[in-house]
Chains A and B, each alone.
Chain A
């Protein structure tokens, strides 16, 4: 699971009003090189919850992202590279995503989050 996906995921358990961002429990992180796509980064930037991305990347052991970001920073190649790396090159391979309201854990095995709810959660 990439942090791009983490930035999109939200706990949808019945009754939960703010399921974002999910907390990350890390067992194993892997890095996979991905082709750089500047258009994609520029397109995604306004939709990214930056604080959640910064927190998530730190949890995954990457501390290079600035605390705050604004669109003018997209002109910096250095910033784009860091953004790219955090967003789509870091993978949570093993671990869990935790609902911020209920503490319910969604397992992540072999890089695949299982977001299915139990009968009593829908």
Chain B
């Protein structure tokens, strides 16, 4: 029945009739797949094929709409330090190597782009090395990314490209026919910034225009992969609120992770229990104190579900020594602690910040954005994906 609704809505969209059968088939395929995925996440969040209702909004209490809405635009727009250091600077440093490994095009993205009417203008917000720019030769593409070295790689391939922030696109409203955001939102460190990026994608397409968003899933196909990542809290504590951090030195009485409110909401205290190696006593003590002093109800009791709810990670990027040597960026990155050496692997290791999306989270995120409806959603290659249509 729900599939029927998806199909009915898809029928209303001009120009995608040709791909309808394909989408229908893929939705069915992924529906089966999704249900089989349910056990992996270990939570009780709603299945992807359930309609997104108000009830779903209560599944993840850590996503607090009301408090988010109070955020001033400047708080949303200004880039938190963690993104500057563990996303922007890392991609700047690894750009050529990253690009040389990013050539495989996801079939679902390809299918979406090939379904667009001839002559469409397509915006790619956070285009990386531009592997999807120009994919459909009947359409016209403009890409942007926040990393100048990645943008330069796109320009060298002859793509139309600019340096811009996906959270604050410098584009007129309603100008493009479609927009894509491929593997971008998971690099934004707050709920409000992720929602603003969705807002922007909707804003820049015309009424009736389609937006494809894909994000990394917490429910990875290869479950062992997650073991190779560093859950954020421990590293976060060391890096951002450790004894040496200016933030701790300056804010002894009101401990707060100002740049990442959701993490504060989730409660760094209980999340730190996810790690075999506890952070230093000093830091743990501070958190416990803060926890009890504030009496914050959002800092839920420690449960097993909290462990399963880990979504903030550092994901390593191994830059082989022979690639690093040609890049002066790695020398300075090693010198200032942005990267470390792994002699066993013969690589300079960078950490990239990720907020991996739980099942249903992307739906909840886009449901809070006005003026768009979900026309398709699916799981593909360890990514949650969604297609929106702008309605007004």
Contact = CB atoms under 8 A, between A and B. Distances in A.
Contact of B155 (A10, A19, A112, A116): A112
Contact of A112 (B118, B146, B162, B172): B162
Contacts of A5: 142, 160, 162
B163 interface: yes
Contact of B168 (A2, A9, A42, A117): A117
A92 to B, nearest CB: 11
A4 B140 contact: yes
A39 interface: yes
A47 B121 CA distance: 11
Contacts, number: 95
Nearest to A107: B163
Nearest to B162: A113
Contacts of A111: 155
A116 B177 contact: no
A88 B174 CA distance: 19
Contact of B162 (A7, A38, A115): A115
Given A1-B162, A37-B119, A115 B170 contact: yes
B151 A11 contact: no
Contact of A43 (B148, B161, B165, B177): B177
Interface string A70-106: 0000000000000000001000000000000000000
Interface string B183-214: 00000000000000000000000100000000
Closest 9 CB pairs of A and B: A39-B119, A122-B77, A40-B119, A115-B170, A43-B119, A114-B163, A115-B164, A113-B162, A39-B118
Interface of A: 1-2, 4-5, 7-12, 14, 19-20, 37-44, 47, 88, 110-117, 119, 122
